[in-house]
Chain A
Amino acid sequence: MTRRLITVTLALFLPAIGMAGEYDLTVDRVKIDTGDFVKEGIGYNGSSPGPTLRFKEGEDVVINVTNNLKETTSIHWHGLILPFEQDGVPGISFPGIKPGETFTYRFPVVQAGTYWYHSHSGFQEPNGAYGAIIIEPEGREPFRYDREYVVQLTDKHPHSGDRIMRNLKSSPDYYNRQQQTVMDFFTESREQGFMATLHDRRMWGQMRMMKADIEDVQGFTGLINGKGPEQNWTGLFKPGERVRLRFINSSAMTYFDIRIPGLKMTVVQADGNNVQPVNVDEFRIGVAETYDVIVHIRDEQAYTIFAESMGRSGYARGTLAPREGMVAEVPELRKAPMLTMADMAGHMDHGDMDHGSMNHGGMDHGAMDHSSMNHGSMDQGSMNHAGMDHSAHGGGMPEDPFYASGSGLLPTASNGGKFLSYSDLRAQSPLYEEREPTREIEMRLTGNMERYEWSINGVKYEDADPVVLQYGERVRFKFVNETMMTHPMHLHGMWSILDVGAGKWNPIKHVISVAPATTVYMETEVDAPGEWAFHCHLSYHAAAGMFRKIVVEGGPNEDVASGDAQAKGGDA
């Protein structure tokens, strides 16, 4: 009784006293050593990644950011729900932080979980300007663990972001060293027959598309918490402990397939929101996503955290060990996947939109797998609502409604076990009441690989009008991926409720990955007035134009209008 009284008293007082965390961050030029190369980059408080920020749900934070660079900077608090002026997108939320200036961010922390922060200016994020955020919940978490680690991944490249963008614009296959060769032709001819191989090359050649077009930017070193595979980031544990690993993919361009050979992982959180636990052997983390997993380690031995890039051009590696210096075997990279005609279906079906020059008549339809190209298989999101049980009609091929049927990108676990799918994700507790969306907005994800142009509905950011939403709406976004690349779409300021066909249990995310030739739906409760960014989180796609400004008009009180319309300006 007394105890309860104290708690209540504390609860009354705490918001007033001592619940404002104050943090200082400096933005600095730093050296980044990956073990493979040393590169000048950008970091926070003298290092890249920057310090892990620990907030408490319910506190008001004050963060003083001092720019020690010779260029404008900014920090975006990725996944945090906050007033739009604090969101850190130059030209949309604020003008940016000029050299030598200190900008003070102030916002209430209204959520819990694993998030991250990064610069939203130019290519400072790929150049090293990122760090982790952990928010401790007010209440008790629905799972327990004995210790925790942040496992923050990135794809550090020896070239600066500006140079990568320029090279991609000059020659989109500049970094692609997985293209099919004459040698591959001979190997494939032996396996599949000469005519079949010739036919295959003829089809792709006619379209001027590459099956190997999965990772635009190869040649990186995968880092875990700033350490390359040789430097081997190590997290210690005592046998018998449950260890919570907070995976954050801070890569510019790279999706990772993550496993810890010998350990089952229990996924408990996705993008900062608790999900109903799923046991998996492996999972794919899209760019800018986070997944929290718990591993129960019984044996006194070392385990490798192995994160292969989706296109298998590189990997990150770390270790969980009972003692410093212990290591486990590092697996070989698996064979690089290849796109299939199924992954091209979106591009071809909508070829008439922007691709007037494509010669449909000349395409050899006879050779294509029509079953994988029909619209039925593309509209996977809507099939889900009908509550279809995909496992029931599965033939030989494994299926995942979030990949085109017959896609070359469909992942499988290396041990033949369970690979996490979006369709496994269920919210632990719904954030919003279920209701019908007030309207649907279609976003076609479009591009031209040969020119390295990326856009939404065929229009680049510089030519596009903002998307205007009304406060209080529930908008259903329909993402139709008409390209052959996977795009992690990120909406600032408001939650993205991913439609996995689970109604009110649909998971709540901040990044929705859309695989080639698929249609994915998400719903958003428009509950945050102001101006927000919405974009593909692949750095070079966003910079090329796959980006929109979202304006939310109105507000809880009508006079909180859309915020003074700021001039379009600032940098990416």
Chain B
Amino acid sequence: MKTRNPWLARICALTLMGSAIVQADEAIDAHNVNAFWGVSAEKLEYRYSDSDEKLAVIETDAWYGSDELKFRWQFTGEWEENHNAWETLENQFLAQTPISEFWDAKAGIRIDTPEGPDRVYGVIGLTGLAPYWFEIDTNLYVSDKGDASVDFEAEYELLITNYWIVSATFETLLAFSEDREIGVGKGINSTEVGLRLSYDLIDRAFSPYVGVVHERKYGDTADFARASGGGTEDWFAVVGARLAF
């Protein structure tokens, strides 16, 4: 990891948390409780592909705030074992507020510092619960190079029992312009479909899982990947755990 950007990340985090703590101090005397926090890892897993690719994937989320305003730090990292490098290293710092019964709007910045060129993005997004219990998260990013992209994630949890849960996920990334330096082509970049079977071992705090993930790259993005010696389609077996504190 490089040092300069993590520092930037820390400063951003402190600024956001600082303003939240001031709020909490005012709230301490109120009759009810109105500031909370949560730390979770939605994915903490090892992926092993049919083409011998090995990845460690981490997705964490930490938040602090009230019903009206939450501050979030979301981290996504993909460590590629074969190259000993972070293929993805992404930090998002967001403020989030409800806009309807089931939906929240969010805005903030995203800082990408993987192996290769870095990017900083402005983010606006929407997250919430769609009818039939689909959890949706979608964001519009504009990078410091002026490129815009949209990602979309949907998750559905199927309860086999109240402890054995199958979660189906779908993710896609769509770019409005090309950013060849970081391997992004115009149009649909990639899709990732996952199916994970988990068991709630300790409350909802520790839930180990196994599953399969299918990743595919499209169009120019696929060409860029091939050009740099990477694959464009992979099936992974995954093993990991979901954590929540």
Residues of chain A having any CB pair with chain B under 8 Å:
90-92, 122, 162, 165-167, 169-171, 174, 177-183, 202, 205-208, 219, 354-359, 362, 448, 450-451, 453, 460-462, 542-545, 547, 567-572
Contact = CB atoms under 8 A, between A and B. Distances in A.
CB-CB nearest 4 A-B residue pairs: A357-B100, A205-B132, A569-B29, A170-B38
B4 interface: no
B8 interface: no
A186 B33 CA distance: 41
Contact of B32 (A170, A174, A179, A572): A572
Given A205-B132, A544-B33, A567-B29, 19 more contacts: A122-B33, A170-B38, A170-B244, A171-B244, A178-B162, A179-B162, A180-B159, A181-B160, A219-B203, A356-B100, A357-B103, A461-B31, A462-B31, A462-B34, A568-B30, A568-B31, A569-B29, A570-B31, A571-B29
13 contacts: A166-B36, A169-B38, A170-B40, A171-B244, A174-B203, A178-B162, A179-B162, A205-B133, A450-B102, A543-B33, A545-B32, A547-B32, A567-B29
Given A208-B129, A450-B101, A570-B29, A179 B159 contact: yes
A460 B29 contact: no
Interface in B117-173: 129, 131-133, 158-163
Interface string B65-90: 00100000000000000000000000
Most buried by A among B33, B40, B129, B131: B33
A52 B131 CA distance: 50
B211 interface: no
B37 interface: yes
A457 to B, nearest CB: 16
Contacts of A183: 160-161
B101 to A, nearest CB: 5
B67 A182 contact: no
B98 interface: yes
Contacts of A354: 101
Nearest to A219: B203
Nearest to B129: A208
Given A181-B161, A182-B159, A183-B160, A544 B101 contact: no
B67 A572 contact: no
B154 to A, nearest CB: 14
A169 B163 CA distance: 20
Given A166-B38, A170-B244, A205-B132, A181 B29 contact: no
B226 interface: no
Contacts, number: 104
B92 to A, nearest CB: 18
Nearest to A162: B33
Contacts of A167: 203-204
B36 A169 contact: yes
A165 B38 contact: no
Interface of B: 27-34, 36-38, 40, 67, 98, 100-103, 129, 131-133, 158-163, 203-204, 244
B36 A543 contact: no
Contacts of B98: 451
A293 B162 CA distance: 38
Contacts of A572: 31-33
B161 A358 contact: no
A273 to B, nearest CB: 28
Contacts of B101: 354-358, 448, 450
Contacts of B30: 91, 461-462, 568-569
Contacts of A570: 29, 31
A359 B34 CA distance: 29
Nearest to B130: A208
A165 B29 contact: no
A166 B204 CA distance: 13
Nearest to B159: A181
Nearest to B244: A170
B31 A182 contact: no
B156 to A, nearest CB: 10
Given A357-B100, A547-B31, A572-B32, A177 B131 contact: no
Contacts of B159: 179-182
Contacts of B131: 205-208, 359, 362
B67 to A, nearest CB: 6
A177 B29 contact: no
A363 to B, nearest CB: 10
B29 to A, nearest CB: 4
Given A183-B160, A448-B101, A171 B204 contact: yes
A569 to B, nearest CB: 4
A493 to B, nearest CB: 16
Contacts of B28: 571
A288 B129 CA distance: 34
A315 B101 CA distance: 34
A357 B104 CA distance: 12
Given A179-B159, A179-B162, A183-B160, A543 B32 contact: yes
Given A170-B38, A183-B161, A568 B33 contact: no
Contacts of A207: 131
A356 B203 CA distance: 34
Contacts of A182: 158-160
A170 B102 CA distance: 14
Contacts of A166: 36-38
B129 A450 contact: yes
Contacts of A165: 33, 36
Nearest to B200: A177
Given A179-B162, A453-B67, A357 B102 contact: yes
Contacts of A181: 159-162
Contacts of A545: 32, 34
Nearest to A92: B31
A547 B32 CA distance: 8
B15 to A, nearest CB: 23
A174 B29 contact: no
B67 A208 contact: no
A314 to B, nearest CB: 15
A542 B32 contact: yes
A450 B130 CA distance: 12
Contacts of A174: 203-204
Nearest to A542: B32
Nearest to B163: A177
A44 to B, nearest CB: 23
A545 B31 CA distance: 9
Contact of B133 (A91, A170, A171, A208): A208
A451 B34 CA distance: 12
